[in-house]
Structure formats: C-alpha cells, structure tokens
Amino acid sequence: MSLLHWAILSPFIAALFIPMLYKRFRKIHTGWFVLVLSILLFIYFFMFLSQTRDGRNVSESLAWMPSLDINFEVYIDGLGLLFSLLITGIGALVVLYSIFYLNKDKEKLNNFYVYLLLFMGSMLGIVLSDNLIVLYMFWEFTSFSSFLLIGYWYQRERSRYGAQKSMLITVFGGLSMLGGFVLLSYIGDTFSIRELVSQNGELITHPLFTPALLLVLLGAFTKSAQFPFHIWLPDAMEAPTPVSAYLHSATMVKAGIYLVARLSPVFAESALWLWLIASVGIVTLFWGSFSAVKQTDLKGILAFSTISQLGMIMSLLGLGAAAIHYESMDEDIYVAATVAAVFHLINHATFKGSLFMAAGIIDHETGTRDIHKLGGLMNLMPITFTITIIGAFSMAGLPPFNGFLSKEMFLASMVSVTEMDLFNMENWGVLFPVLAWVGSIFTFVYSMIIVFKTFTGKYQPEKLKKKPHEAPIGMLIPPVILASLVIIFGLFPNLLSSTIIEPAVAAIQPGAVHVDIAHWHGFRVELGMTIGVIILGVLFYLTLAKWQNIYQLFPAKLSFNRLYDALLTGMERISLAVTRLFMSGFIRTYLVYIFLFFIISLGYTLFRKNALTIDMKNTAPIGIYELVLAGIITIAAIAILFAKSRLTSIILLGAVGYTVSIFFVLFRAPDLALTQLVIETISVALFLLCFYHLPKISRKEERLAFKLNNALISIGVGVIVALIALSSHSSKYFDAISKYYVENAYKEAGGENIVNVILVDFRGLDTMFEITVLGIAAIGIFAIIKLRLTRGKEEG
C-alpha cells in the first residue's frame, strides 16, 4: 500500500475520527481539523505536477480481489491530477468557508464533516482509479454521501425531497453505468481503463460496444445533470451552501464529465459517442441557460447555470472526439475543443465556487436568497459585490476574466463544427453554433441578473429578516481566493496551459499537443459572436420585464419535474393497483394461483418433452377385491363433496381412511395397516372436536356451493397427477434397490421385520426427525392452547 493509497483513503480514515474530535474538543470548530487534512492533500497532489507535466504518469497497485481482476489501482495522469487538485483545493476552501458558515453550537458538525470527508475521499477515488469496478464503487459512494449532504437539514421536507430525487436519479445512472462497465470489461477482457484504451480500435467491432457506450453515457449524463436528467440539481440546492458550492458546482457534477473525458479514447471512434455527447451537451447548455433566467432564487439561478455550463463542457468533449478521425491531417481545431473543455472545467470550478459562496454570504447576512427581496446591497457588502461581479462577468464571458477565454474557445469550436465533413455534420452541424450562441446570450442575461438585481436598485430593508452587513473575514477569504484565481487565470492563462491543461488533454487525446491560450486571436468569427452576445444580452436584460412573461405560459407545461413527479406517483399507483389486483387476501385465490401454475407448468412440460407414455406391460393383474375396495373408496370420496352436513363429511372421511387401511392389508403391508387404523381413528376424533367447537353462527349446514372454476381446477389437478403417475410408472429405467434390504435385513441388522429394520436401522435418521416433527407438533399444540397472551391481558 503506497502513500498514494493512503492519500485517497485518508478522508475515510479521518471521517472515523471526526465524531470523536467533535465530542472531545467542543470549543474548537470541527472544520479546522478537516481543513488541515484537505490542505495537506492539496499540497501532496500539487507535488505530482512536475511529474505529469513531463508525461511521467504515476501508477500504484494494491491487490484487493486479485482472483476477480479487481484491484485498487491508482493512476495519476494529467486528467486525474487536474481533478484531484480541484477536489482538494476547492475542498479546502469550502471547508474554510463552512467553518464560518455553519454555527458550531447550532449545527451537527460531526455529521456534516463526516459526510463531507466521505465525499472528498470517494471523489478522489473516482478520478484516480484505473479499475472500472473500483471507480464504480467510489462513484456510488459519492451518490450516497451527496444524498446525506443534501438531506443535511433533514427536518425540512424540501431537503428530504431533494435528497431522494438526486439519489434516485444518480443511482439509476450509476447502475446503468455498472452495466456498461461490465459489458466493456467483457468486450475488452479487463477492468483496467488503460488496457481498454490500448485496444480501442478493436472494441468498436464488438456487437456489445453500442450498449456499453449507451449505458456508460447514461451514468455520466445523470451524474453531470445533463438534459433531461438535470432536474435533480436545482432541488439539491436545499443543501447547505458550502455543499452546493463543493458538490454541485465544482466536483460531483463533474464526475460525469470526468468519465466522458476518461473513456473518450475508448469510445471516440464511434460516431454515436460524438453525436450523443455533443448534442446532449448543447441542448443542456441551451435549456439550462434558458431556464436560469426565470429563477428568482439565487441558488436556483446558479443551479441552472451549472447545468448549462456542464452542458457546454460536455458538448466540447463530444466535439473533441472528432479529432481522432482527423489524425492524418494537420487540423487541430477539434483538439482545440478538448482544450477548451478542460480550460472551462477549471474556470467553471473557480467562478462557480466563488458565486455560490457569495450567494451563501448574501443568504447568511440578509436571511433571504430571493432576488425580488434583495437589492441595493452594493454599499453594504462591497467585497461580496466585487466577488460576485468578477464571478458573474467571468461566467458571462467578458474580458479580462477567464470565462472570456474559454467562451471564445468554445464558440470557435462550435463554429468549426460546420466544417466537419463526417457523420452528416454538414446537414445539422449548423445548429451547434446557433444553439451555443443563443445559450450564451441567456448566460449573459442571467449573469447580469445575479449581479444587478442583488446589488443595485432599491434597498428594501423591510423585506429582509436581518440587518445586512459585510460577512466576517473568514467567510470572505475562500471566495476572494477563487475570484483572484479567476482574474489570474484570465490574465495569465498560460500559467495553466503547459502545467495542467496539456497533460490533461494528452490523457483525453493521446498524442502530443501544444496549448497556447492567447487573448487576441485577431478578428475571427467568435469575436463577432461575443460582441453580438454582449449587445443582445444587454438589450435582453434591459427589456427583461417585457418579455419575461413568456416563461409563465411556456415552461410550466414542459417541466421535467412534473414528468418526474408524475412518474413517481404513477409508478406507485400502478404497482399498488397491480398488487391489489392479485393479492386479494383470500387463501382460496392464492390456492387457485398455485394449482393453476401447477397444472400449466406440469402439463406443458409433460407434452413439450413428450413424456406422456402409458405402458401397461408391467402392471399387475387387478383382482376383484381391489375393484370392490376402489369402488368403496371412490364412492366415499365423491360423497364427501355432496355431503350436506359436516358430520357426514367427517364420517365419510373416516370411511376413506379405513378403506385405505384395507388396501394396505391387501397389498401386504401389516405395519402400515396398523398405523393407519390408529391414526385414522385419532384424526376422526380430532375432526369431531373441531366440528363441535365451530361457532354457532357460521355453522351453516348446507351443501358445498358449486363453482365451475374450482371444479375445473380440481379435475385438472387430478388428471395431471394421474397422467404423471402413469407416465412415471411406464418409464422405469432401473430396478428397485429393495432387493438389498430383503437380503440383508436379518444378516446385517438382525431383524425379520423389514419395514421396522429400515425404519430404525437402515434409515434411522428419517425416523429421528419424524419423531422430532411429532414432538414439535405436540409442543405447538400445547403452546397454542395454553399460551394465550391476548386473553391474559384482558383478564389482567
């Protein structure tokens, strides 16, 4: 077990000690302990930077289930490292923020930090695992810890609803993904991602390749809140704001992005991969930004904006997959899409994290997140205002922030789609830049809403629960750090290019790439598009009040939340109805099912397998006694059915039993005959006992009502059993083993009564357990009669 394994598992180990630390050091905010760990982890991963930069990837293996080829194999390359740095870095900032956000006396901090550490560890596990099964394990860990974090304020109904929703959707995706992984490992005969990548050309020919692709994508899309699985993310905003900032903007929702990027070399050969990812991404981008504008809750806007930005990264990754088809040519515009995706991934984590934290500050200091109640906070909260303006302008894609650069690269890549000449792109490809551009306009509009509706306009102190003032310094440090990163990356993007982006892109698209991000490309199409976005965006924002009405008549019908809710209640209703349909509560109904199944399955098998043979060769001659006895027993049995009183039935039943004992006499079984006679007498006596104790009201002395169904089923059962008995008698393939008993009963066991010798000597074990059965029955009867708790209570 290497240090790297310990690093990944350290959050889990630390989570074990958190409750102890919480109880032991009540004076110290528990978050400080977590902060130390996450900073240490960040430093540790930062040291790998020099290695991955030179392409020296680190790999460590730990045997877990070697016989199943499941090993905890850690692999650090550019992509994994980028994500680890995001997870630990933003994790540290979020923990610092949460120390000031969550009150140490009012909140259950031990729960919070245990969940958060579980999440951090599992996220690290996802991005650093090379084994598909281990990746899946950590994947589900993130789903569960996210569920716990969303439902952190479990007393609130909305929190529980959001947690359940996100759980259902992400676990649905996770399970599909597991299916995809299993198919993939079946095709490639390995669980190792690197080995799968090395045989990428061969995989595509396998018939299971497309199902594997679809299932894996389903997992990635649900986790990364892609259209139409985006609905859980806005409801996850019920979580505490540090959680929203960490999970639902920077890390967990990017797990799907990571998966797509990681498996791109495996699947990118396929046109379906490219098409699905690019189009789902662009639709998500458009839909997310369109829906964000109508939100009135700050976190709601940010949630939809996260969806939209994730769609943007996703579509870029999809287009980046096209690069694999242009290997021979000089053209690297599709590689540029991947570069843009990676770059925007970093940018989004920085500005969205800072925006969430700013929203949390506003919520914390004013008591509301509703933009209708907020306004005019600019002078009261100048630092928060600055942070928000940096984050929002970067999100809108304005210079000189980092969002501008990635948005430019994004638009450039979308324009390049129109030049693509494969997979029918020339027909539909033009939709990509159009949707991207319209989406960017909406992005601009909601970014402006976040800034100006909150901080400018009329100050309405009467609507606010608290008297707003600037947040404490500790709460401001993390967003300030993120906002300064936004500016630093914006001004000096090449700080990132060779250190992080290049190795990450190299992991997504094997082959050397050189990344150089420049502010000024010259007058290109995308610059014009950006100018258009700004002009139209400003125009749209200023006229917001006039056209916002379209949201009221339009999206309410097209809401996927309604569909989800209807699906849940519908499923519940249908399953309830189906269950009620056959679970009638009557034993007779269940007996009908059992017997029908019996008739159908046995009858089908009998005729399907041609097992029905009736051979009269081995039958013994039938004498007159047997005939007479059979006549008696048949008459008695049939008479039971038509008996008027129950007493008659009991007596007839006794007659049947005694006749059976005569059969035993006739077929030379004296011991059986003896036993049968005694037992029959006792059971008739017991029946009489039961008969006497029947309640007077229900003791209706009337004939059994005739029911055709029951008659048919009983005749069917009788016929089937008779047929089976005849067939099995007609097809005896071996001699009986009873000859051995006859020969050896006296010789081996010293007894002349063979039946008794078999019962107590040859096969005495059965007898022992029959005795046990009788013992249990006796004790049971005693218990039923003697131990009547309800009556005892009434009396006592």
Partner 1 sequence: MFHAILQISLLCVSISMLGLVYRVIKGPSAPDRVVALDAMGINLIAIIALVSMLLNTPAYLDAILLLGILSFIGTVAFSKFLEKGEIIENDRDL
The footprint of partner 1 (CB under 8 A) covers: 624-625, 628, 631-632, 635-636, 639, 643, 647-648, 651-652, 654-655, 658, 661-662, 665-666, 668, 670, 673-674, 677-678, 681, 684-685, 688-689, 692
Minimum Å distance from CB 648 to partner 1? 7
For residue 684, the minimal CB distance to partner 1 (Å) is 7
- Tell me how far, at minimum, the Cβ of 682 lies from partner 1, in Å: 9
Residue 231 DSSP one-character state = G
Shortest distance in whole angstroms from residue 674 CB to partner 1: 5
Pick the closer one to partner 1 by CB: 616 or 689. Answer: 689
Beta strand spans in 506-621 (E): none
**In terms of CB distance, is 116 or 652 closer to partner 1?**
652
Burial 44-78 (b: 16+ CB within 10 A, else e): bbeebeeebeeeebbebbeeeeeeeebbbbbbbbb
Nearer CB in complex with partner 1: 480/655: 655
Tokens of 88: 């630990």
Give min distance, CB of 768 to partner 1, in A.
25
3-state secondary structure 82-137: HHHHHHHHHHHHHHHHHHHHCCCCCCCHHHHHHHHHHHHHHHHHHHHECEHHHHHH
For the residues of 355-406, what is the DSSP string, one character each? HHHHHHHHHHHHS--BTTT----TTT-HHHHHHHHHHHHHHHT-TTSHHHHH
User: Quick one: 375 or 654, whose CB is closer to partner 1?
Assistant: 654
Measured from the CB atom, the residue of 265 and 654 that comes closer to partner 1 is: 654
Distance separating alpha carbons of residues 84 and 75, to the nearest angstrom: 12
Minimum CB–partner distance for residue 148 and partner 1 (Å): 58
Helix (H, G, I), strand (E, B) or coil at 543: coil
- Least CB distance to partner 1 at residue 660 (A): 12
Report how far residue 72's alpha carbon sits from residue 742's, in angstroms, rounded to the nearest whole number. Answer: 64
Least spacing, CB of residue 745 vs partner 1, in Å? 15
Q: How far apart are CA 716 and CA 346, in angstroms?
A: 72
Identity of the residue, 279 or 661, whose beta carbon is nearer to partner 1 in the bound complex:
661
- Min dist. Cβ of residue 792 to partner 1 (A): 14
Q: Are 318 and 273 in contact (CB under 8 A)?
A: yes
User: What pairs with residue 60 in β-bridges?
Assistant: 74
Instruction: Identify any residues that bridge with 77 across adjacent strands, giving them in sequence order.
Output: none
How many CB atoms neighbour CB 509 within 10 A? 24
Residue with smaller CB distance to partner 1, 666 or 771:
666
For partner 1, which is the closer residue by CB, 442 or 658?
Answer: 658
Estimate the crossing angle of helix 255-267 against helix 333-366, to 10 degrees.
170
Pull the structure tokens for residue 150: 């969303």
Residue 374 or 673 having the CB closest to partner 1: 673
Nearest to partner 1 of 430, 685 (CB atom): 685
Distance separating alpha carbons of residues 352 and 248, to the nearest angstrom: 9
Least spacing, CB of residue 631 vs partner 1, in Å: 7
Q: What single letter denotes the amino acid at residue 160?
A: R
